[in-house]
Chains A and B, each alone.
Chain A
Amino acid sequence: GAGVSQSPRYKVAKRGQDVALRCDPISGHVSLFWYQQALGQGPEFLTYFQNEAQLDKSGLPSDRFFAERPEGSVSTLKIQRTQQEDSAVYLCASSLRQGHTEAFFGQGTRLTVV
C-alpha cells in the first residue's frame, strides 16, 4: 500500500496477557518510529530503528516493552504481561531516511487492557 499500515486497529487484552502490534512502513523508508499516545495527550516517543538496527529505545516505559525490525521493513512492538496503564494508541511512523523531517504515520493500534 501507499501508506504506513498498522494491525490490528483495535486490541483488547486481559491484564497479564502478551500482545504484538504490527507496523508495515512505506516501502523503502529507512527510519521507523513507535510512539505511544495516551487519551487526550500528544504522542510520546518509544523507540527508533534505522533499517534493522534499533538505535534508540530510550522511550520504552519498562522492560515489558520490546520492539524489533529484523529485516529492516516490518516492525513489531511487543508488550508482555500487559497492565492497565499500557492502554493507549500505539502509532508507527516511517521516514525516508534519518534526518528527513517528514514522518508518515499509520492510523495506530488502540490497545485497551481490561
Chain B
Amino acid sequence: GDSVTQMEGPVTLSEEAFLTINCTYTATGYPSLFWYVQYPGEGLQLLLKATKADDKGSNKGFEATYRKETTSFHLEKGSVQVSDSAVYFCALIPTNDYKLSFGAGTTVTVRA
C-alpha cells in the first residue's frame, strides 16, 4: 500500500540553523502530501500541504516541494527557533482516498 518514509531522529540543532527533514513516499497515482507538527502537549496540526507535482507548500517559514521524479517531499526551514521544537510527521492521502498514512515522526529539538 501507499506509504511514507521519513528521516529518523532525533535531530538537535542550534537556533538559526538550517533544518531539513527528508520524506519519501511510495504511491500509485498522485497522492496529496502533508507535513503535520505536534508541539509538546498539543495535538497534531497541519503545517503545510501540496496536492500535485511541483507544488510548494509553505507556512511559518517552512517549505516543502512535491517532487514526483524523486517521490519526495522534504521539509526545510532556513533559520529555526526554539519554538520550532516539536515532532514532525510526513503524511499522504492516496489518490481517490481519504485516509492519512503517516511516517514515524521526527523529533526536532532547537537549542538557544
Chain A residues engaging chain B, CB cutoff 8 angstroms: 3-4, 31, 33, 35, 40-45, 48, 56, 59, 91, 93, 98-99, 101-108
Chain B residues engaging chain A, CB cutoff 8 angstroms: 32, 34, 36, 42-46, 49, 51, 89, 91, 93, 98-105
Q: Are B99 and A45 in contact (CB under 8 A)?
A: yes
Complex formed: what's the CA distance from A8 to B91 in Å? 26
- Pick the residue among B42, B98, B101, B104 that contacts A40 (CB under 8 A): B104
Helix, strand, loop or mixed for chain B's interface?
A: strand
- Pick the residue among B43, B103, B104 that contacts A107 (CB under 8 A): B43
- Pick the residue among B44, B93, B99 that contacts A91 (CB under 8 A): B44
- List residues of chain B with CB within 8 A of the CB of A103: 46, 100
Given A4-B43, A101-B51, A102-B49, verify A42-B102 contact (CB < 8 Å).
Answer: yes
A/B interface sample: 25 pairs, CB < 8 A: A4-B43, A33-B98, A33-B99, A35-B100, A40-B105, A41-B104, A41-B105, A42-B91, A43-B89, A43-B100, A44-B102, A45-B100, A45-B101, A56-B99, A59-B99, A91-B43, A93-B44, A98-B98, A101-B49, A101-B51, A102-B46, A102-B49, A103-B46, A106-B43, A107-B43
Shortest beta-carbon distance, B36 to chain A, in Å? 8
Complex formed: what's the CA distance from A68 to B100 in Å? 20
New A-B contacts (11) at CB < 8 Å, excluding given A31-B98, A42-B102, A103-B100:
A3-B43, A33-B98, A42-B91, A42-B105, A44-B102, A99-B98, A101-B49, A102-B46, A103-B46, A105-B36, A105-B45
- Pick the residue among B34, B43, B103, B104 that contacts A108 (CB under 8 A): B43
